[in-house]
Amino acid sequence: MALQSRIRGNNARKVLNKRHTIVTQLTTDFVKIQAQARGFLIRSHVQHIRSSLRVLLPNIIPLQSQCRVHLVGTEFRRKKSVLADCVLQTLVLQSCVRGFHFRARDKAFRKRLAVQEPGVALLQARARGTLARFEFWGKKGWLQEEEEGIVELQARIRGYLIRRDHSERARHYRENMDKVIKIQSLVRAKQQGEAYKSLSTRPPSCCLRDVLMM
């Protein structure tokens, strides 16, 4: 039995070695055949897919667009719901961030102003002085050029105002002439009465001296 098993094992090993040698010799050919077979199958499958896509392309594009719209709408609704849940916290956070940035910029600006304030004030004063001088020189030159016309215009305006005032007074006098005459007569009567009273109250020597001096 041991001899038979050894013989069988020896024969099996010989057959296996022979097969292994044959497979080793034909491995390169087997690999090439397998690669060509796989390539043929893949190309056939790709060609079949392409032909199917060409046939189904008009239906695939609308389906893809609908799928994209559905996905985008779902994502938008999800984000909207998240934002709606966190809108108060988001607003508070945004206001805090904006306030922080504004305060930082204001602080930096104030610091720069504090450093540059004397120079800025001097520059502003010089700029205002220059602009005021330019404006004054322009007005002065214009006034010198138009002096005669301005003087004539002023004279005409004064004359017009005086004539208007005089015409108003004359109109007032014409409208109240009887009152003016009464007032004048009263004033003259008062003056005459005072003169007569002063003459009547003087001593005779004074009256004689006055008559002689007259």
Please give the average per-residue pLDDT across 98-127, as a whole number: 85
* 30, pLDDT greater than 60: yes
Summary mean pLDDT of the chain? 82
Q: How confident is the model at residue 210 (pLDDT cuts 50, 70, 90)?
A: low
Query: What 3-state DSSP class applies to 202?
Result: coil
* 213, pLDDT greater than 70: no
* 211, pLDDT greater than 60: no
One-character DSSP codes across 3-40: HHHHHHHHHHHHHHHHHHHHHHHHHHHHHHHHHHHHHH
Residue 62 contacts residue 69 (beta carbons within 8 Å): no
* pLDDT reported for residue 140: 79
The rounded distance, in Å, linking the Cα atoms of 112 and 125 is 19
The rounded distance, in Å, linking the Cα atoms of 22 and 13 is 14
Domain edges within the chain: 1-85, 88-143, 146-177
* pLDDT reported for residue 208: 46
Cα–Cα distance list, 133 to 21, 129, 141 (Å): 113, 6, 12
* pLDDT reported for residue 123: 84
Q: How confident is the model at residue 42 (pLDDT cuts 50, 70, 90)?
A: very high
Instruction: Look up residue 124 and give its two tokens.
Output: 């502003």
Q: How confident is the model at residue 214 (pLDDT cuts 50, 70, 90)?
A: very low
Q: Does the predicted TM-score (pTM) go above 0.75? A: no
Higher-pLDDT residue of 8 and 164 is 164
The rounded distance, in Å, linking the Cα atoms of 190 and 196 is 10
The rounded distance, in Å, linking the Cα atoms of 134 and 140 is 10
Instruction: Look up residue 129 and give its two tokens.
Output: 């002085």
Query: What 3-state DSSP class applies to 203?
Result: coil
Residue 180 contacts residue 173 (beta carbons within 8 Å): yes
Q: How confident is the model at residue 41 (pLDDT cuts 50, 70, 90)?
A: very high
Residue 150 contacts residue 143 (beta carbons within 8 Å): yes
The rounded distance, in Å, linking the Cα atoms of 144 and 133 is 16
Following CA atoms 81, 82, 83, 88 in sequence, which dihedral angle do they give, to the nearest 10 degrees? 110
How does pLDDT run across 144-203, given as a tens digit for each residue? 777 788 888 888 999 999 999 988 888 888 888 888 888 888 888 888 888 878 877 755
